[in-house]
C-alpha cells in the first residue's frame, strides 16, 4: 500500500499469541496499517497474523523500526533483512529510525545513509524517524534532503500535545504520527473527555482519535481487546465541535510518559 492510513494499530508491549491475535482481530475489523519494531520482539507474530489472514500484500501498510544497537554499517541492513524474514514479506511500507543514537554514538549521517540505502534497495517504500527533536529533524532533512522523511513518530496525546515538534515536523514536510494516543489509559479517566464522549454517544477513546484526525495527525493506538479495536476503528462517527476541540486542546499539561534515559533532550 502506497500511502499510510490515518489510523493504524500499534503493537508495543504485545507479546507472543497476544500480538498475533491483536493483529488478526485488527485486520478482520478493517485496520490496514500495522506498526511494529525490532525491539518489540513480535515481528514474527505480526508476520504470522498477516499470513493467516491471507490479506494481499498491496492491501495493507506495514511499519517497522530499526533499534539503535543495529545502527552500525555492518548491522543496519542485515537487521532489516532479519525483520523482513520475520514479517514474511520482501518489503515494509515504512522503515523508521526508532530512536536517535544515544549521545550520537553513531553519527546521524551514518545511520540515515543506511536508512536511505534500505529504500534504494527496495526493502522499504518510505523512510522516517521516531522520537526526533526539532534540531534532530532539521539535521535529518539536511542530510537526506527535503521530502525524503515521511514521518516523525512521536508521543502525542491530549495531555502531551508536543505542539512545537508537531508544527516543525509539518513545516519540514513530515507527517506527524502520534503514538500512545490514549496515554496508557489516562484518556479513559479524563472527566473532560468523558463529558464530550457522552454528548456524542461515543467513547473517550473515539473522541481522542477524532481530535487527532482533526489536527491532521496520523496515529497507531493499540489494544488487545477486539471490542476496543472495533470501537477505535469506528471513531469517525464522532464529529467534534470547535468548542470540543478547544476543551481538548486545553488538557495539554506536558505529561510525558515515554522518557527513557537514552532518549534525547526533549523540546
Give the residue ranges of the annotated binding site. 98
The whole-angstrom separation of Cα 196 and Cα 247 is 9
Q: Helix, strand or coil for residue 91?
A: coil
Residues of the binding site for substrate = 98
Q: Helix, strand or coil for residue 137?
A: helix
Show Cβ contacts of residue 2 under 8 Å, excluding neighbours closer than 6 positions.
Answer: 93, 125
Nearest one of 127, 154, 225 to 185, comparing CA atoms? 225
Q: Helix, strand or coil for residue 107?
A: coil
Beta bridge partners of 124: 92
Beta bridge partners of 152: 129, 176
Show Cβ contacts of residue 56 under 8 Å, excluding neighbours closer than 6 positions.
Answer: none
DSSP 8-state symbol, 38: G
Lay out the sheet containing 124-130: strands in order across. 9-10, 33-35, 61-66, 92-97, 124-130, 149-155, 175-179, 218-219
The whole-angstrom separation of Cα 211 and Cα 130 is 21
**In the annotation, is 179 catalytic?**
no
Helix (H) or strand (E) holding 199: helix 191-200
End-to-end CA distance of the chain, in Å? 33
Q: Which residues are catalytic?
A: 40
Amino acid at each position: 500500500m502506497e500511502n499510510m492510513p490515518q489510523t493504524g494499530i500499534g503493537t508495543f508491549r504485545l507479546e507472543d499469541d497476544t500480538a498475533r491475535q491483536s493483529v488478526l482481530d485488527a485486520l478482520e475489523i478493517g485496520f490496514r496499517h500495522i506498526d511494529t519494531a525490532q525491539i518489540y520482539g513480535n515481528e514474527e507474530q505480526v508476520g504470522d497474523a498477516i499470513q493467516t489472514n491471507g490479506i494481499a500484500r498491496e492491501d495493507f501498510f506495514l511499519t517497522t523500526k530499526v533499534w539503535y544497537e543495529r545502527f552500525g554499517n555492518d548491522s543496519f541492513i542485515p537487521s532489516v533483512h532479519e525483520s523482513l524474514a520475520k514479517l514474511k514479506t520482501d518489503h515494509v511500507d515504512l522503515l523508521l529510525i526508532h530512536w536517535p543514537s544515544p549521545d550520537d554514538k553513531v553519527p546521524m549521517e551514518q545511520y540515515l545513509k543506511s536508512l536511505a540505502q534500505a529504500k534504494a534497495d527496495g526493502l522499504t517504500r518510505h523512510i522516517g524517524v521516531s522520537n526526533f527533536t526539532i534540531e534532530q529533524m532539521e539535521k535529518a532533512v539536511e542530510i537526506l534532503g527535503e521530502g525524503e522523511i515521511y514521518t516523525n513518530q512521536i508521543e502525542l496525546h491530549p495531555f502531551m500535545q508536543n505542539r512545537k515538534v508537531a508544527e516543525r515536523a509539518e513545516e519540514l514536510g513530515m507527517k506527524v504520527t502520534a503514538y500512545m494516543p490514549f496515554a496508557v489509559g489516562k484518556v479513559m479517566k479524563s472527566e473532560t473527555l468523558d463529558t464530550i464522549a457522552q454528548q456524542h454517544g461515543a467513547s473517550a477513546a473515539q473522541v481522542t482519535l477524532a481530535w487527532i484526525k482533526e489536527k491532521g495527525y496520523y496515529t497507531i493506538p493499540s489494544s488487545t481487546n477486539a471490542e476496543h479495536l472495533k470501537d477505535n476503528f469506528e471513531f469517525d462517527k464522532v464529529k467534534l465541535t470547535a468548542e470540543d476541540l478547544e476543551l481538548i486542546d486545553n488538557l495539554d499539561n506536558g505529561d510525558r510518559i515515554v522518557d527513557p534515559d537514552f532518549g534525547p533532550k526533549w523540546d
